[in-house]
Amino acid sequence: MTTYLLKRIAMLVPLMLGITLITFTVIHLAPGEPVDMQMAMNPKVGKEARERLTKFYGLDKPLHEQYFTWLGRLARLDLGRSFSSDNRPVLDKIKERLPITLSLNLVALIIEFGLAIPIGVLAALKRNSHFDKGTTVFVYLGIAMPNFWLALLLMYLFGVKLSWLPISNLHTLGYESYSWVAQVWDLVKHLILPLIVASFGSLAGVSRYMRSGMLGVIGQDYIVTARAKGLSERVVIWKHALRNALLPLVTLLGFSVPGLIGGSVIIETIFSIPGMGQLFYQGVMSRDYPVVMGILVIGAFLTLLGNLLADIGYAFADPRVRLR
């Protein structure tokens, strides 16, 4: 196990360097220097400020020197300052958005797996039943439906037609004056639609995964053995079969780590949720390069870590993996 861990961790270094290289290439895709672009949009910034920025990003130096300066700052978690008028460090901006995105997506993830696992198992057990066929249709629709369209439909139905739920932001204006119970209720009401949209698409995929995992396990010899030694069907299915069918989901959980942190640009933009996705989108729209690069590079690092965690989790759960 230790050897496996060490091997995996050693692999991280070249991958991380690769990530920084690609991110750095993306920065230099811009026709003209990033500083020029920023200045062009803001004529008030004088020559002096331009020189300061050029110096900060080392744009007057050769490419490899720029790369190493940037890499050095990245190692100290210094992502530079935002180009926007508040001029705050990018890291601070990220810190302020992260809890919102993280909690929203964590709840969505719990809903997703909480529903997808039983749906997948039942569909597998009752193969070709009406329930199975129904979920198959639902899965195809879920995968093909653009999430922003689902969001629009829900906004129209529950927000506009029925006026049951608010359709944007996380709080009603002036919610500070409410009692805490009312504040919580207010937050819950604002979260219902984003949560439905955030969990719907992947719910379909995960339940499908669960179904095929379960179908694969049910035919195995050890299930026949469990039945043969007289265990009740419930114990066979929910203990012996489910545990093994859950294995592949560990990998899926790892894949959802970047989503937990990066959030969804689309959902956060539609529902005006001040999270990471919205920050990124605003950065893209206003060409706030430090913000875009910062989130991109952090997002990629976290994906890498998520994959590593998934693999380690898998190795813990399945001893066969460790031997390889």
Partner 1 sequence: MGISVVSILLLLALLAPIISPYNPTEIHAVHVLSPPNWSHWCGTDELGRDVLSRMLYGARISLMVGFVAIGIAVTIGSLVGLASGYYGGWVDTLLMRFVDVMLCFPTFFLILAVIAFLSPSIWIIMAVIGLTGWMGVARLVRAEVLVIREMDYILAARCIGCSDLRIILRHILPNALSPVLVAATLGVAGAILTESALSFLGIGVQPPTPSWGNILTSGKDYIEFAWWLSLFPGLAILVTVLAYNLLGEGIRDALDPRTMK
Using alpha carbons, select from 152, 129, 256, 168 the residue that is nearest to residue 205.
256
- Rule CB under 8 A: is residue 156 a binding residue for partner 1? yes
Pairwise CA distance, residues 113 & 249, whole Å: 9
Residue with token string 């959802």: 256
Q: Which of 80, 120, 166, 258 binds partner 1 (CB under 8 A)?
A: 258
Quick check: 276 and 261 in contact, CB under 8 A?
A: yes
* Site string (112-141) toward partner 1, x via CB under 8 A: ----------------------------xx
Q: Which is nearer to partner 1, 15 or 71 (CB)?
A: 15
CB of residue 175 to partner 1, shortest distance in Å = 23
The torsion angles phi and psi of 84, rounded to 5 degrees, stand at: -70, 170
Burial class of residue 113, CB neighbours in 10 A (0-12, 13-18, 19+): buried
Quick check: 214 and 93 in contact, CB under 8 A?
A: no
- Rule CB under 8 A: is residue 266 a binding residue for partner 1? yes
Pairwise CA distance, residues 14 & 16, whole Å: 5
CB of residue 219 to partner 1, shortest distance in Å = 14
- Rule CB under 8 A: is residue 9 a binding residue for partner 1? no
CB of residue 183 to partner 1, shortest distance in Å = 27
- Rule CB under 8 A: is residue 68 a binding residue for partner 1? no
CB of residue 18 to partner 1, shortest distance in Å = 3
- Rule CB under 8 A: is residue 270 a binding residue for partner 1? yes
Pairwise CA distance, residues 272 & 188, whole Å: 15
CB of residue 25 to partner 1, shortest distance in Å = 10
Quick check: 94 and 276 in contact, CB under 8 A?
A: yes
- Rule CB under 8 A: is residue 299 a binding residue for partner 1? yes
CB of residue 177 to partner 1, shortest distance in Å = 27
Pairwise CA distance, residues 203 & 252, whole Å: 12
- Rule CB under 8 A: is residue 10 a binding residue for partner 1? no
CB of residue 125 to partner 1, shortest distance in Å = 21
- Rule CB under 8 A: is residue 74 a binding residue for partner 1? no
Q: Centre a 10 Å sphere on the Cβ of residue 65 and count the other Cβ atoms it contains.
A: 11
Q: Which amino acid type is present at position 125? A: L
Q: Which of 79, 121, 155, 210 binds partner 1 (CB under 8 A)?
A: 155
Q: Which of 80, 166, 262, 290 binds partner 1 (CB under 8 A)?
A: 262
Q: Which amino acid type is present at position 174? A: G
What are the beta bridge partners of residue 81? 89
- Rule CB under 8 A: is residue 145 a binding residue for partner 1? yes
- Rule CB under 8 A: is residue 30 a binding residue for partner 1? yes
Q: Which of 1, 6, 9, 143 binds partner 1 (CB under 8 A)?
A: 143
- Phi-psi label, residue 273: left if phi above 0, alpha if psi -120 to 50, beta otherwise: beta
Q: Centre a 10 Å sphere on the Cβ of residue 99 and count the other Cβ atoms it contains.
A: 10
Q: Which amino acid type is present at position 31? A: P
- 272: tokens are 């005006």
- Rule CB under 8 A: is residue 275 a binding residue for partner 1? no
Interface of this chain with partner 1, residues 276 to 295, rule: CB under 8 A: 280-281, 283-285, 287, 289, 292-293, 295
Quick check: 167 and 188 in contact, CB under 8 A?
A: no
The site for partner 1 (CB under 8 A) is made up of 14-15, 18-19, 21-22, 26-27, 29-31, 140-141, 143-146, 148-149, 152-153, 155-156, 159-160, 258-259, 262, 265-266, 269-270, 280-281, 283-285, 287, 289, 292-293, 295-296, 299-301, 303-304, 307
